Amino acid sequence: MSIVVHAKKREVGNHSTLTKLRQRGFVPAVVYGYKTEATPIAISARDYEKALRLDGENSIVTLEIDGKKLNAVLNEAQKCALKGTLVHLDFLAVNMSDALEVSVPVNLTGDSVGAKEGGILQQPNREVTVKVKPSDIPESIEIDISTLEIGDTLAVGDIRSISTFEILDTDDFLLVTVSAPKVDEEATSAAIIGAK
């Protein structure tokens, strides 16, 4: 069930108008998409952050704008680089019966055998793109990496058959690697010289 976030239409203003809006506890936003023209809105930062804590970033939000309700997903969130506060939000209005393409975080579970042996665990891509109905958007996709040894890799092709979601990334889209530990070259050459 989606959370209702109250919003109000706003005038497209200059920088000082937006600053005043933020000082009053609102975040400037825009909503567009299914049966909705691009509409500038302002939402309560407190209400939205509460919704985020409860349901996560990929959840469906019911935006109530001047009495009219529509279902939407967060398309983009801009944050202040210094303070980490919300600066602007983009919402995409959705039809609940149509599948969407969304980015979903990949969470690693377990401890890799190779990493325990000194291998270097890397996660080159932390998100995958899935196609799902709005009500089925997962908060994250979990991958067990406990069996990965040094030299092993894990790509989308390795998890496609076990995923309950349609993943749009290519099979070779790399998610995890466990590489051999880097040898200190100076120490190695010193050991070689010392052995002569």
User: How far, in Å, are 3, 83, 89, 140 from residue 57 at the CA level?
Assistant: 12, 19, 12, 10
- Going from the N-terminus, what domains does the chain have, and what CATH number goes with each? 3-94 (2.40.240.10), 101-179 (2.170.120.20)
Element (H, E) at 44: strand 36-44
pLDDT in tens, 99-155: 888 888 999 999 999 999 999 999 999 999 999 888 888 888 999 999 999 999 999
pLDDT in tens, 144-183: 999 999 999 999 999 998 888 899 999 999 999 999 987 6
